[in-house]
Amino acid sequence: SRNVARPFAVVALIVAGAGVLNLKGIDIQGETNPHQIMKMRREEAEEELE
């Protein structure tokens, strides 16, 4: 039925759009990624050595 298909199509487009944004490196969820954590720890270790 069309009543069910249209909301699913809208949700699919939103999820696809979010996936494309994520590929461009935009952080949607707001979580710190592992690379940023490693970089922060490395910078802190370098500051302690100085």
Domain ranges within the chain, ordered by starting residue: 2-49
DSSP line for 3-46: HHHHHHHHHHHHHHHHHHHHHTT--SS-PPPHHHHHHHHHHHHH
What's the CA gap between 8 and 10, in Å, rounded?
5
pLDDT tens digits along 20-41? 766 656 556 666 778 888 898 9
Model pTM score: 0.40
User: Residues of the chain with pLDDT > 70: what percent?
Assistant: 70
Average pLDDT, the chain: 79
Q: What is the pLDDT of residue 20?
A: 73
Whether residue 8 has pLDDT greater than 70: yes
